[in-house]
Each structure stands twice: as C-alpha cells, then as structure tokens.
Amino acid sequence: MRGRLRAGARRRYSRHMPDDLTHLELAELDDIRSTDMRPADYGEAADKAVAAGHRLISQIDPSRGTGARWCSPDGWFFVEDARIAHPDVVPSSVGAYTPPPSDAVSFAAWRRSDLPAEIPAYVTTAPAWCCSAFGRGEVRRSRVDLRALFSARGVTHYWLVDVEARVLEALVLDGGLWRELGAYGIGDRVRVAPFGDREIDLSAVFEQPLQPVCGVVRE
C-alpha cells in the first residue's frame, strides 16, 4: 500500500463519484460514511497505515531495499501493494497482459521454494502470508472483504494491523476457517507465525510519529 496508490483511492471518494462502483468500493464507501469521515480524513488514515506497514515490514525483513518486490536472505519473496486475484479468475496468456480482477493488500509473501526459479510478473500461487495495514475507512474491507478473499484463495496466514486500535491480529487458515493465533498491542514483543523466528516490537510499529510518505508529512 503506497502513497501514490492511496492518492488514487482518495480521488475515488471525490464529489464526482462514478455510477459503476464495485462491491469493494461500495464497502469502503459505507465504512467512510459510518465513521463520518471526509475524503481528507481518509487520506490521512491511509498515510498512517502506510507508515505503520513499513515499520512492521522493516522488522520482519531488515534487509529490505527500496523495491516493491524483493527476496529476503531467509527464503521469502515479498511484494508490496500485492494484488490478490479473485479465485474464479484465470489470467490469459494470449495477447497483451491485462491484470485480472483483484484486490490490493499492503504486503504479501511467498516461500521462495514454492515459486519457480524465475519469478513471473503474475504469480498464480497463493501467498503464504498477507498483511493488511488499515485505519479508519478500511475496517470493513480488511475484516470482511479481504478475509473472505484470502480464505477462498487459500492464503495460510493473514495479519491485520489496525492503526487506530494499535493492534496486530494474526490469523491462520485451518480447515477453511480462520483461527486466531493472537491479538497484540503496544508494549508487546511478539513472535508470530509464519515469522516466529524473529521478534516484532509493536511499540516501534505503532508509537513512532508518522513518517513522510511520498514526500508529504501530515501533522
């Protein structure tokens, strides 16, 4: 989830709303209305979620560079702003590439051993882990829409980073149903699957001041 994409999301909620809003967009719009948020409030919440997501991923993989796709030294392949295709979509291999219908998530990760030697632009294998960092205006999307999508796709682990509540919730898919591994907040230092070999300091994720995103600092 990068700032430039969130700017597009903010424009989506301008006064000139299109008539053909998708189910996902309607869900997000309902969320905004339910919290009485202005479009500017949505943009600020999105920027805070971006910053928290970046601070979390820097603890999961301190070796990360500046790219949106990278391999970690311990055998993971990460993608920021990963687009997870809907389960009934089969991408076409004929003609020009057209991204299939999909929903974006802050970060996704695959075990490198589950992927071919040359990683394609579009990965059909379900991620082993997805993480949604979200604030006001995206609660329904993260807790309802993305949970359903990831379950249908067979994503094994799903982390929800709620910036407003300052809570990390970790779920694992067990027999087609989500089971909670734990919910953690400020002051907790946790080791959670699938990254149980590294300690994550949630105070560093949630308590630091908002960092600049795309050159913009919000007070």
pLDDT in tens, 101-125: 556 789 999 999 999 999 988 888 8
- Asked whether residue 155 carries a pLDDT value surpassing 60, the answer given is yes
Instruction: Say which range, 18-32, 103-117, 162-176, 199-213, has the weakest mean pLDDT.
Output: 18-32
pLDDT (0 to 100) of residue 44 = 79
Question: Which CATH number describes the domain made up of 3-87+100-206?
Answer: 3.90.1570.10
**pLDDT interval class at 138 (50, 70, 90):** confident
**pLDDT interval class at 205 (50, 70, 90):** very high
- Asked whether residue 200 carries a pLDDT value surpassing 70, the answer given is yes
Closest by alpha carbon to 50, among 217, 190, 196? 217
- Asked whether residue 11 carries a pLDDT value surpassing 70, the answer given is no
Residue 47, burial from CB neighbour count under 10 angstroms (0-12, 13-18, 19+): buried
Exposure string for 104-115, b = 16+ CB within 10 A, e = fewer: bbbbbbbeeeee
- Asked whether residue 62 carries a pLDDT value surpassing 90, the answer given is yes
List 83's β-bridge partners, or say none.
104
User: Residue 113 corresponds to which tokens in the numbers above?
Assistant: 């051993």
Number of Cβ atoms within 10 Å of the Cβ of 59: 15
pLDDT (0 to 100) of residue 85 = 75
% of the chain beyond a pLDDT of 90: 50
Closest by alpha carbon to 106, among 72, 76, 134? 134
- Asked whether residue 12 carries a pLDDT value surpassing 50, the answer given is no
Global pTM reads 0.73
Q: Residue 153 half-sphere exposure, CB side, CA atoms within 13 Å?
A: 28
CA torsion, points 44, 81, 193, 59, in degrees to nearest 10?
-60
